[in-house]
Amino acid sequence: MLMNFKFLAIYLFVLFTTILSLPVIADDGYRLWQRYDFVQDQAKRQAYLANLTGLVIEGNSPTLTVARQELVTGLAGLLGKPLRLTSLNTAGVLILGTPQNTSVIKNLNLAVKLTALGPEGFLILSAQVQGKKATVITANSDVGVLYGTFHFLKLLQTNQDITQLNISSAPKIQRRILNHWDNLDRTVERGYAGFSIWDWHKLPDYIDQRYIDYARANASIGINGTVLTNVNANALILTPQYLVKVKALADAFRPYGLKVYLTARFSAPVEMGGLKTADPLDAQVKTWWKNKAAEIYSYVPDFGGFLVKANSEGQPGPQNYGRSHADGANMLADAVAEKGGIVMWRAFVYDNKVPDDRAKQAYTEFKPLDGQFRKNVLVQVKNGPIDFQPREPFHPLFGAMPQTPLMMEFQITQEYLGQATNLVYQAPLYKETLDADTHVKGAGSTVAKVVDGSLHQYELTGMAGVANIGNDRNWTGHLFGQANWYCFGRLAWDHTLSSEKIADEWLRMTFTNEATFLNPINKMMRQSRETLVNYMTPLGLHHIMGYSHHYGPGPWIKDKQRADWTSVYYHKASPEGIGFDRTVTGSNALAQYAPGVQQQFGKPATCPEEFLLWFHHVKWDYKVKSGRSLWDELCQRYYRGAAEVGQMRQTWQAAQAYVDAERFNHVKMLLLIQEKEARWWRDACVLYFQTFAQRPIPAGLEKPSQTLDYYVKQDPKFVPGN
């Protein structure tokens, strides 16, 4: 009997480790980068085991409890052996806690190191503790310890050495927040990964495991806030019926350091409160919001605050009552200030009735308000002045509001980047904006320094990413969309990380540590955004996509209810040339930038070619840097972009041996769709612009298979997210 038992145990162990070590079992991508698969390299695994003989943890807060759970599950998967709680008498233990809750950590005298790390930073150290070798994960707060725990697990997931650790890490930006554009009926504005993950109908009683896994994933990359609802807001979320559901989510997220925020519909006092006005200077309105805030805090004591889209694209706002954005923001800020809440007031405003270049309007409205906002207001600015295009120059507000903390808004969901059928790794896009030089305090005044507060000594700092998450099994529709969620979090934590490093981490954790897989796929990811720019909007073109749903090409879009929602408004193609003159001879949007930027972008010869048609209207035979005419160059780029998607398919095909069949085929099929879409963009745009340029497609480039008329008549129905 005993023998049988032993045999069974060995059998189960072998079965377990074999299953864990199989590289090609099917996988639907649900586990994201938190797979914790068995470490294949035996020497590495042995070294890890020797340094992980047990876990010492004294604190038992909800946050430390989830940190312990994560370590136990993670290490069981990675090492095939459970991690036991132990005492300090053994060598090779892992010690987790803060100096406040763990006496041995207190005795290590880390105060100086810890002070520098602020409330969320962490230390991971190889140390001698009571004469024995140990690894210590510590911080000033439990959430810092949790962040350190995830970092430590990542070291194992990415096969790093853990014997000589001396890691200290702290976020450069305070508020690292996902913006969900999720509606209460579970549709997601510009969402391409199914329906909303918030199942409002079953909340508050049903806590889907997904909510926990969502919080775990966010904590693992340092995201500490989530706005649950669409910026095109519904006031219903502020009713008790929904606040009790919000509370349930907030409770589930709290151990992971993830705060909940809501969007505030500016007209809520009228719609729900029965008031005659929502005028921010009206005493009754102020009281209504104060009471509403107090009510929210009674459900969610650590509620983060409001995100507001006002007087933009038809949303109500203070201007309806002749008041300014500052009046509106301050009124809400006063309502949440007492409990430490903030207001994130969006600068995404433009008006069709204003006869000025749309790219100028946010600056025109907000710059004069600098210094007029309350201390707990952040103005949230999109990365570029139009709208999340494949490429835009940085928004001119960055650097222009020294007395108002500006928060970055990136779009993780790929509204204008091929939605969920295109593989586009966005770290290079985010980095391009963050590294851009505003020149406002001389060279080196990067956007990143504005956003992290170091340029203007902002007290509040933040970065928002419009989420690409839905209830698809793999969360993001396209498996590689996970890399964009991942890189957003990593860059919000530390904007100095390189796109390559972040992709390397993500690939190792998501797929494998094999160099023969990593090198080509990392390269493919880093190139993918430039590839997309080439087949969609090369040389500074922008906003030429399909109408309303924004899917596929639509450079011919004109005569719509709003000029600034058409394509011809932006490309201005004519028989002479193409491009939007934003210099002094045109809209002079360029004047909103510092002189250093103006000098560079002001002349076609010195303007970086990627922004040429953003700032200049250029003749078709203008000679670009390659020596080609503008027309020839435009064609070459469109063709290059589409051809590169073909190369991406080959690169992926060559990686087959390293990926399980399910995920391999998922990406493979999507790359085929992407290639078709890239050719569609290429052919439609080249044929359309040719009607103005009146020049042949350069020799050697294959002719489009269809006529322009064919492409114009394409009318995709029921595009998701619209």
Smallest separation (angstroms) from ligand BDP to the CB of 398: 17
Compute how many residues bind ligand BDP; rule: CB under 6 A.
10
Helix (H) or strand (E) segment spanning residue 543: none
* Side chain identity at residue 713, one-letter code: K
* Residue whose CB is less far from ligand BDP, 189 or 370: 189
Q: Write out 581-606 in H/E/C secondary structure.
A: CCCCCCCCHHHHCCHHHHHHHCCCCC
Within 80-109, the residues that bind ligand BDP by CB under 6 A are none
Catalytically annotated residue among 415, 432, 530, 632: 415
Smallest separation (angstroms) from ligand BDP to the CB of 231: 5
Inter-CA distances, 206 with 198, 211, 248, Å: 11, 10, 9
Distance from C-alpha of 173 to C-alpha of 493, rounded to nearest angstrom? 6
Within 546-585, the residues that bind ligand BDP by CB under 6 A are none
Q: Does 232 bind ligand BDP (CB under 6 A)?
A: yes
* Residue whose CB is less far from ligand BDP, 351 or 500: 351
Smallest separation (angstroms) from ligand BDP to the CB of 233: 10
Catalytically annotated residue among 189, 208, 251, 313: 313
* Residue whose CB is less far from ligand BDP, 190 or 286: 190
* Residue whose CB is less far from ligand BDP, 532 or 607: 532
Inter-CA distances, 198 with 137, 227, 250, 286, 357, Å: 33, 12, 12, 30, 38
Pairing of strands 93-97, 54-57: parallel
Smallest separation (angstroms) from ligand BDP to the CB of 550: 6
Residue pair 136/148 in contact (Cβ under 8 Å)? The answer is no
Q: Does 351 bind ligand BDP (CB under 6 A)?
A: no
Catalytic status, residue 327: no
- For ligand BDP, the nearest residue by Cβ is 387
Q: 640 exposed, middle or buried (CB, 10 Å; 0-12, 13-18, 19+)?
A: middle
Within 624-643, the residues that bind ligand BDP by CB under 6 A are none
DSSP, collapsed to helix, strand or coil, labels residue 331 as helix
Q: Does 415 bind ligand BDP (CB under 6 A)?
A: yes
Smallest separation (angstroms) from ligand BDP to the CB of 230: 8
- The set of residues, in sequence order, having a beta carbon less than 8 Å from that of 42 and lying 6+ positions away, is none
Q: Does 410 bind ligand BDP (CB under 6 A)?
A: no
Pairing of strands 377-382, 342-346: parallel
Q: Does 345 bind ligand BDP (CB under 6 A)?
A: no
Q: Does 231 bind ligand BDP (CB under 6 A)?
A: yes
399-435: burial string, b at 16+ Cβ within 10 Å, e else: bbbbebbbbbbbbbbbbbbbbbbbbbbbbbbbbbbbe
* Residue whose CB is less far from ligand BDP, 527 or 722: 722
Residue pair 215/165 in contact (Cβ under 8 Å)? The answer is no
Query: Can you spell out the DSSP letters for 53-112?
Result: SEEEE----HHHHHHHHHHHHHHHHHHSSPPPB--TTSTTEEEEE-TTT-HHHHTT--HH
Smallest separation (angstroms) from ligand BDP to the CB of 312: 6
* Side chain identity at residue 55, one-letter code: L
What sign does the CA torsion over 507, 509, 515, 516 have? negative
> And the tokens for 62?
């909800």
* Residue whose CB is less far from ligand BDP, 34 or 263: 263
Within 183-202, the residues that bind ligand BDP by CB under 6 A are 189-190
DSSP, collapsed to helix, strand or coil, labels residue 677 as helix
Smallest separation (angstroms) from ligand BDP to the CB of 348: 5
Catalytic status, residue 660: no
Phi, then psi, of 139 in degrees rounded to 5 = -165, 180
- The set of residues, in sequence order, having a beta carbon less than 8 Å from that of 673 and lying 6+ positions away, is 421
Site string for ligand BDP, 369-398 (x = CB under 6 A): ------------------xx----------
Catalytically annotated residue among 70, 387, 409, 644: 387
Within 293-312, the residues that bind ligand BDP by CB under 6 A are 309
Residue pair 145/136 in contact (Cβ under 8 Å)? The answer is no
Smallest separation (angstroms) from ligand BDP to the CB of 315: 8
* Residue whose CB is less far from ligand BDP, 279 or 387: 387
Residue pair 494/169 in contact (Cβ under 8 Å)? The answer is yes
Distance from C-alpha of 236 to C-alpha of 68, rounded to nearest angstrom? 38
* Residue whose CB is less far from ligand BDP, 58 or 313: 313
Smallest separation (angstroms) from ligand BDP to the CB of 181: 7
Catalytic status, residue 313: yes
* Residue whose CB is less far from ligand BDP, 169 or 411: 411
Among 211, 288, 348, 480, indicate the residue that binds ligand BDP (CB under 6 A). 348
Smallest separation (angstroms) from ligand BDP to the CB of 690: 29
* Residue whose CB is less far from ligand BDP, 162 or 307: 307
Please report, as ranges, the residues that interact with ligand BDP according to CB under 6 A: 189-190, 231-232, 309, 313, 348, 387-388, 415
> Would you please indicate which residues are annotated as catalytic (active-site) residues?
313, 387, 415
